[in-house]
Amino acid sequence: MYGNEPAKGWAMSGELNAPGGVNGGSKVVKLQANLIEEGSVTTQFNLNAQGPVNAVAEIVSSLHGNSIKRLVSVVDGASITTRGKTISVTVKDYTAPEVSAGMTYTVSIASTLGVRAGSKQPPLLFPLVYKTDSNGPLLPVVGVVGVPAAGKVFFPLPQDAGIIAVYINSSDVRDAGSPGALVRVFQDDGSGFLSISSYDLANKSDWVPLAPNVGAVIIENHLGIPILVNVFFGVDG
């Protein structure tokens, strides 16, 4: 409360330790708030780190006993709008050991009443893991992922996270001047065998909506050379 007015904003900051690894670190930065009445809340993030890290925020909004969860990567300028009567924001470190052998950094969270400004770019979630084939182990994402020549990589979609779109970028594909069908992206049911939707990476350079029931995004490389790709999931909010 500010004087006789109900609170319209909440803030919290704290330190995280990298590397948290695939399952996330034990240390968290957390913000919780109860609204006077149901409404829209925009949460913004600030990150102060002296090197590359991978922090992920879980935002849970509740209304009439029902909860909605979103996952977003914490980068400077990141923001997301959720709606409910209560809000809980928990940030954990998921940095891979290959990226950081040990680092302490600060994360700040600010939640205020109101709606996120309109933008073509949705809130982002960097994939947390990938695997090189349908039976391969899950590996932590370290930023750029290599796709071997005549090979494929699978990016499982986090469930209950609000993922609605995917953006895949590869300068190697553009530099190779590859004709269509040599690098393909599949939206899969998660089994590795049933394709729901597919397109040529050379012909796409924008956000692509995810079809219903997608469980994984698969990149198949039919070029004679390995390529590097960046993959970003778009989050509703």
Q: Which of 83, 91, 90, 89 is nearest to 35 (CA)?
A: 83
Q: Which residue blocks in the chain are alpha helix, DSSP H?
A: 171-176
Pairwise CA distance, residues 208 & 121, whole Å: 12
In sign, the C-alpha dihedral spanning 227, 165, 40, 119 is positive
Q: Give per-residue burial for 15-46: e unless 16+ CB within 10 Å, then b.
A: ebbbbbeeebbeebbebebebeeeeebbbbbe
Helix (H, G, I), strand (E, B) or coil at 70: strand
Give residue 1's pLDDT. 41
Residues 6+ apart with CB under 8 A from 168: 185, 201, 204, 208, 217, 219, 229, 230, 231, 232
Helix (H, G, I), strand (E, B) or coil at 82: strand
Pairwise CA distance, residues 173 & 229, whole Å: 9
CB 1 within 8 A of CB 75: no
Pairwise CA distance, residues 200 & 197, whole Å: 11
Where do we find the tokens 């594909």?
A: 173
Q: Which of 69, 65, 55 is nearest to 16 (CA)?
A: 55
Give residue 138's pLDDT. 84
Give residue 190's pLDDT. 75
Pairwise CA distance, residues 228 & 95, whole Å: 19
Half-sphere exposure of 126 (CA within 13 A, CB side): 23
Give residue 2's pLDDT. 44
Token duo for residue 154: 């699978």
Mind listing the domains of the chain with CATH numbers? 9-113 (2.60.120.510), 124-235 (2.60.120)
CB 130 within 8 A of CB 145: yes
Where do we find the tokens 């012909």?
A: 203
Mean pLDDT in runs of 10 for the chain (237 residues)? 66 96 93 92 95 94 93 93 96 90 93 86 92 80 86 91 94 64 86 80 88 92 89 94
Phi, psi (degrees; rounded to nearest 5) at 171: -65, -25
